[in-house]
């Protein structure tokens, strides 16, 4: 990737750097974070066009007095899925740029699993012209496994044909069992990536299996949930992404592993973060703030939020405040609390006091075609005909996307298995929604706490079929029909009525409404689940991961119940 300035821009940059020509803009008397030496220095910063010409003592055509405020490199989210924000790139930029984020590295495998390569192209096109660099990794697992049906398939040849300046490498290789066995498609995807980074996804992988995974060419992992797991992976050469999402919050567990020797191989990511949390808590600024409160030295925290990610992803000339680097900066009034006053992207002020001040226009991109295609459904579609009521149950684990597993004796009525509400066991359904094949996986889940009604979502990682958890077949049917009417989204229903809904008409994943509207509807949905007795801290994010058969331990797809540890479909009977 060519990050060099043009010849004319370089000549002017040199003239300003030499002090021969006044800088167009000088930020005076700043406390500048130097990521190369790990210190704060009192300096001026000269900005020329998109780049920093020099640091030291400079004069400019325009001079802004910072009075000792801190300047840090713009923050970089090293692994996230835009689709989890449920917002278009423009609305996402409104949420994160004022908080200091100037670049994100996104894996579009959610929309790719629905639409294939056109889904990736939609995100690339929609991000053009924004005050945020949205770098994109080629989605490695579309579909994620053979244990579910997605809306598209991307082969190694398909990925090789994807070319764009914003494409950085290969996204998380979730099919780690396939790669470990040398599956030809998996291995080709890794090998053809060449010198670009290859992200990993290997929860709980250890020992010789982990060695094989790393030997295949994987370079990072964001699925560590314990210090021991992170330490083993660091010792084998992986870069560790410290994740702080809406459900999975791993910084506290992993931070004790990070020290001055290995910190350069660690950086922050959000993975899956909802609009409520982006508004209430923040983005990468929240990761920094939490790390500092947990005892991380501030310099180290800010470096993990910028320079370390830039180096891993080969984003040369990003992640530092130094001559020749892009002028991606944040003005901080309180280093400990990460209070961001102003944000500069490529030499232009784009946010101030928590608001996006950029007034440009991103590219106009047509939304993808409707993607929710359900078979004809009735209450009988949710029947589980079985005289043996002793069944496997998927167990929610608060603040985790991994699930536990148990067994339960559920009621049987007229030869059909029923939810066991007294023991918090609901019926769970996953309906294939891309081609109306009629595939419906049925099972049971514990942990939502609902006493009546049902909740449903077309956000169901990674194949994004329709997932429903409910107390009755009639409400599950209503939820499915309402989602279809909305062309995708989240819904809460009870006793024949729709209580709350968030339409997601773009691939069944993204809203076409504003950040504030999406966040409010999100809140409304959570409140509606509480009214039904819901106890899950984040019910819809938890629901969305129940169909993900690459995360242990027990999941449900449109093909049935999946034992992830065996990487195989199993029967419902325990």
* Angle between the N-to-C axes of helices 89-96 and 117-126, in degrees from 0 to 180, rounded to the nearest 10: 50
Categorize the per-residue pLDDT at 567 as very low, low, confident or very high, splitting at 50, 70 and 90.
confident
pLDDT tens digits along 536-557? 988 998 999 999 998 889 999 9
DSSP state of 420: B
Confidence (pLDDT) at 223: 94
Please write the tens of the pLDDT for every residue from 11-20: 999 999 999 9
Q: For every residue of 164-225, which 3-state class applies, written as one string?
A: CCCEEEEEEECCHHHHHCCCHHHHHHHHCCCCCCEEECCCCCCHHHHHHHHHCCCCEECCCC
The predicted structure's pLDDT at residue 35: 98
* Alpha-carbon 400 to chain mean position: 14
Rounded to an integer, what distance in angstroms lies between the CA atom of residue 96 and that of residue 92?
6
Q: Does the pLDDT of residue 1 top 60, yes or no?
A: no
Strands 568-570 and 39-48: unpaired
Number of residues assigned to the chain: 574
pLDDT > 70? residue 492: yes
pLDDT digits (tens, 9 = 90+) for 376-431: 999 999 999 987 899 999 999 987 888 999 999 999 999 999 999 999 999 999 99
| pLDDT given at position 367 | 79
Judge whether residue 309 has pLDDT over 60: yes
In the predicted model, what is the mean pLDDT of residues 176-184?
90
Delimit the domains of the chain by residue range: 73-319, 379-570
Secondary structure (DSSP) of 340-372:
EEEEEETTEEEEETTEE-----PPP-PPPPP--
- 158 φ, ψ (degrees, to nearest 5): -60, -45
Which pair of structure tokens corresponds to residue 122? 């939609």
Cα distance from N-terminal residue to C-terminal residue, the chain: 53
Q: What is the pLDDT of residue 2?
A: 62
pLDDT digits (tens, 9 = 90+) for 67-101: 999 999 999 999 999 999 999 999 999 999 999 99
205-242 residues labelled b (16+ CB within 10 A) or e (exposed):
beeeebebbbebbbbbbbbbbeeebbbbbbeeebbbbb
What is the pLDDT confidence band of residue 363, given thresholds at 50, 70 and 90?
A: confident
Residue 45: other Cβ atoms inside 10 A: 27
Torsion 541-546-548-554 (CA) sign? positive
- Average of per-residue pLDDT values in the chain: 95
pTM given for the model: 0.92
**Which tokens belong to 334?**
């309180």
Confidence of residue 365 (pLDDT cuts 50, 70, 90): confident
Q: Are strands 454-457 and 466-470 parallel, antiparallel or unpaired?
A: antiparallel
Q: Does residue 170 or residue 145 have the better pLDDT?
A: 170
Q: 175: pLDDT confidence band, cut at 50, 70 and 90?
A: confident
CATH number of the 73-319 domain: 3.20.20.140
On the question of pLDDT at 437 being above 70, the answer is: yes
Percent share of the chain, pLDDT over 70? 100
């Amino acid at each position: 990737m060519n990050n060099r300035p043009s010849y004319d821009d370089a000549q002017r940059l040199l003239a300003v750097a030499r002090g021969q020509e006044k800088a167009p803009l000088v930020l005076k008397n700043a406390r500048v974070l130097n990521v190369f030496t790990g210190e704060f220095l009192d300096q001026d910063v000269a900005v020329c066009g998109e780049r920093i010409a020099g640091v030291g003592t400079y004069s400019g055509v325009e001079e802004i007095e910072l009075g000792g405020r801190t300047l840090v490199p713009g923050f970089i989210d090293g692994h996230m899925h835009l689709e989890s924000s449920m917002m278009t790139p423009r609305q996402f930029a409104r949420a994160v740029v004022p908080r200091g984020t100037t670049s994100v590295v996104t894996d579009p495998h959610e929309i790719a699993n629905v639409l294939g390569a056109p889904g990736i192209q939609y995100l690339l096109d929609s991000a053009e012209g924004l005050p945020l660099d949205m770098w994109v990794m080629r989605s490695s697992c579309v579909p994620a496994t053979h244990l579910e049906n997605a809306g598209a398939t991307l082969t190694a040849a398909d990925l090789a044909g994807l070319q764009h300046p914003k494409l950085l490498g290969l996204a998380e290789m979730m099919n780690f069992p396939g790669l470990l066995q040398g599956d030809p498609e998996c291995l080709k995807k890794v090998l053809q990536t060449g010198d670009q980074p290859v992200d990993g996804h290997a929860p709980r992988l250890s020992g010789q299996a982990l060695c094989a995974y790393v030997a295949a060419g994987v370079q990072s992992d964001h699925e560590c949930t314990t210090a021991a797991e992170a330490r083993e992976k660091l010792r084998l050469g992986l870069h560790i992404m410290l994740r702080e999402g809406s459900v999975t919050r791993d910084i506290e567990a992993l931070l004790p592993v990070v020290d001055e020797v290995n910190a350069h191989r660690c950086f922050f990511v959000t993975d899956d973060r909802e609009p409520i949390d982006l508004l209430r808590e923040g983005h990468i600024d929240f990761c920094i703030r939490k790390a500092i409160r947990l005892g991380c030295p501030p310099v180290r925290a800010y470096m993990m939020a910028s320079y370390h990610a830039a180096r891993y992803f080969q984003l040369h000339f990003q992640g530092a405040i130094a001559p020749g680097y892009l002028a991606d900066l944040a003005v901080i009034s309180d280093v400990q609390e990460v209070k961001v006053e102003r944000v500069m992207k490529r030499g232009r002020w784009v946010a101030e006091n928590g608001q996006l001040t950029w007034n440009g226009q991103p590219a106009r991109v047509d939304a993808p075609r409707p993607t929710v295609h359900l078979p004809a459904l009735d209450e009988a579609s949710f029947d589980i005909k079985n005289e043996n009521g002793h069944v496997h149950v998927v167990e929610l684990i608060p603040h985790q996307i991994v699930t536990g597993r148990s067994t339960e004796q559920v009621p049987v009525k007229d030869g059909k298995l029923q939810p066991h509400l007294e023991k918090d066991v609901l019926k769970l359904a996953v309906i294939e929604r891309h081609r109306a094949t009629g595939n419906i996986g049925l099972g049971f889940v514990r942990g939502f706490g609902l006493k009546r009604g049902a909740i449903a979502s077309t956000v169901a990682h990674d194949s994004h079929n329709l997932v429903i958890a409910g107390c009755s077949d009639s409400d599950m049917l209503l939820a499915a029909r309402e989602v279809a009417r909305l062309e995708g989204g989240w819904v809460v229903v009870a006793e024949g009525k729709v209580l709350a809904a968030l339409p997601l008409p773009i691939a069944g994943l993204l809203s076409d409404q504003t950040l504030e509207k999406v966040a409010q509807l999100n809140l409304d949905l959570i409140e509606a689940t509480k009214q039904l007795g819901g106890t899950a801290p984040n019910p819809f994010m938890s629901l969305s991961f129940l169909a993900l058969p690459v995360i242990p331990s027990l999941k449900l797809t449109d093909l049935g119940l999946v034992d992830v540890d065996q990487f195989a479909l199993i029967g419902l009977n325990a």
